[in-house]
Amino acid sequence: MNKRYIIGIAIIAIFLVVGFFAFVDTKVEYSNFQHASSTHKKCQVKGSWLKEKETRYDPTSNQFVFYMKDENNTEMKVVLDGAEPNNFKMAENIVAKGKVKDGQFYASEVLTKCPSKYEGDGEDVKKSSM
């Protein structure tokens, strides 16, 4: 075979392998803390911040620690590598992406859903369309 064909096939194979692993890494399923504890995969857990429990940022380790309750009312300590997310204290819901290890949820990312001052209550929409 010609060297060009071999090099071309090798480049295509490398791109396919890299693409596959990039896709697998971005595919993160929603779960709860119980399921996240039993799997070794990265999961997304939706829940709410437990304001009455410890919340702190440790600048020496650059970790933000808080407690969260998932949709099944299971509580778990969440350790985020990084600072407190924007609008964290105003968030209605939180989505933490990460893995459970040693009884704690180690998050690589925390997303917040905050109440919007631009959202109507539904009645305004009905009145304006009449």
Distance of CA 121 to the CA centre of its chain: 28
CATH superfamily to which 29-113 belongs: Nucleic acid-binding proteins (2.40.50.140)
Residues in the chain: 130
Q: How many CB atoms lie within 10 A of CB 110?
A: 21
Query: Any bridge partners for residue 43, and if so which?
Result: 29, 98
Instruction: Please give the structure tokens belonging to residue 99.
Output: 């893995």
Residues 81, 92: Cα–Cα separation, whole Å: 21
Q: Which helix (H) or strand (E) holds 46?
A: strand 43-49
Instruction: Return per-residue pLDDT of the chain as tens, 130 residues.
Output: 688 888 888 888 888 888 777 665 555 678 889 888 888 788 899 999 999 999 999 999 999 999 999 999 999 999 999 999 888 888 888 999 999 999 999 999 999 886 665 555 555 444 444 4
Q: Is the pTM above the cut of 0.75?
A: no
Residues 41, 98: Cα–Cα separation, whole Å: 8
Query: Which residue's structure tokens are 């509580």?
Result: 75
Structure confidence at residue 26 (pLDDT)? 55
Q: Residue 111, SS3?
A: strand
Nearest to 66 by CA among 94, 36, 92: 94
Give the domain ranges of the chain. Answer: 29-113
